């Protein structure tokens, strides 16, 4: 009988906004190959990350609030927020985008693809499905240009969860490099910003292990 691999503890704590209604657990992740691809345990902690008009995403890293943030959107939440199905939601979200734009790294992670968001677009009141599709699509474009905040259309919830952790992990790793370089009297050059992304269709529906993420 093969003994189970000893899990590896993630080196940072993920902060989850106390108002997050459907939080990620970050279970089923694996450490990198240099750690034997062992199971990864991610510590999470509930904490208020800001309320309107100071809202600042749903996920961050302990001691890095205000510097890195991930805003999670389910398909329904993305529709209702962008299209303003509830009074003031669109305006509150735009204020949050303005807040997130002040961070060193911030991203809106959507648990759907843009294709699905448009294809399954609902009607709302007197507004047709086609009208909502156009408003939704053009609003996203406008916000991407107005606010330097990335958008990741991950295709599904599982990949959105993996992306959220790896985004935070990348920031933490770069921060450790920066600290070491500063201690040595050097500085870490900032990389070219990543474009807004969508998970390739070949990965949508694949398991985390199959996608090699």
CATH code, residues 8-184+195-204: 3.40.50.10130
Task: State the average pLDDT over residues 157-177.
Answer: 98
Mean predicted lDDT score pLDDT of the chain: 90
Structural tokens at position 66: 């205000």
Task: State the average pLDDT over residues 150-165.
Answer: 98
How crowded is residue 146: how many other Cβ atoms within 10 Å of its Cβ?
A: 12
- Is the pTM higher than 0.85? yes
- Where along the chain do its domains lie? 8-184+195-204
- State the pLDDT at residue 71: 98
- State the pLDDT at residue 213: 63
- State the pLDDT at residue 210: 41
Model confidence pLDDT, tens digit, residues 73-110: 999 999 999 999 888 999 999 999 999 999 999 999 99
Does position 198 have pLDDT exceeding 90, yes or no? no
Model confidence pLDDT, tens digit, residues 112-148: 999 999 999 999 878 899 999 999 999 999 999 999 9
How crowded is residue 190: how many other Cβ atoms within 10 Å of its Cβ?
A: 9
Contact 7/40 with Cβ under 8 angstroms? yes
Beta strand segments in 74-139, E: 105-110
Distance CA 148, CA 91 (A): 17
Distance CA 37, CA 5 (A): 9
Does position 29 have pLDDT exceeding 50, yes or no? yes
- State the pLDDT at residue 200: 57
Residue in the block written with tokens 């709302």:
124
């Amino acid at each position: 009988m093969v003994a189970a691999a000893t899990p590896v503890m993630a080196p940072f704590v993920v902060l989850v906004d106390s108002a997050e209604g459907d939080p990620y657990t970050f279970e089923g992740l694996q450490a990198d190959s240099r750690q034997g691809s062992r199971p990864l345990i991610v510590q999470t902690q509930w904490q208020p990350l800001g309320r309107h008009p100071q809202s600042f995403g749903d996920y961050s890293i302990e001691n890095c609030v205000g510097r890195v943030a991930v805003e999670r959107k389910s398909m329904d939440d993305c529709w209702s927020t962008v299209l303003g199905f509830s009074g003031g939601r669109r305006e509150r979200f735009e204020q949050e985008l303005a807040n997130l734009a002040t961070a060193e790294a911030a991203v809106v992670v959507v648990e759907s693809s843009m294709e699905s968001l448009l294809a399954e677009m609902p009607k709302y009141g007197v507004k047709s499905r086609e009208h909502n599709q156009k408003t939704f699509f053009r609003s996203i474009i406008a916000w991407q240009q107005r606010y330097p905040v990335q958008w990741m259309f991950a295709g599904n919830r599982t990949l959105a969860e993996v992306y959220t952790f790896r985004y935070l992990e990348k920031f933490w790793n770069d921060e450790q490099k920066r600290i070491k370089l500063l201690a040595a009297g050097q500085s870490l050059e900032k990389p070219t910003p990543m474009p807004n992304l969508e998970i390739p269709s070949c990965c949508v529906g694949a398991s985390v292990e199959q996608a090699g993420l």
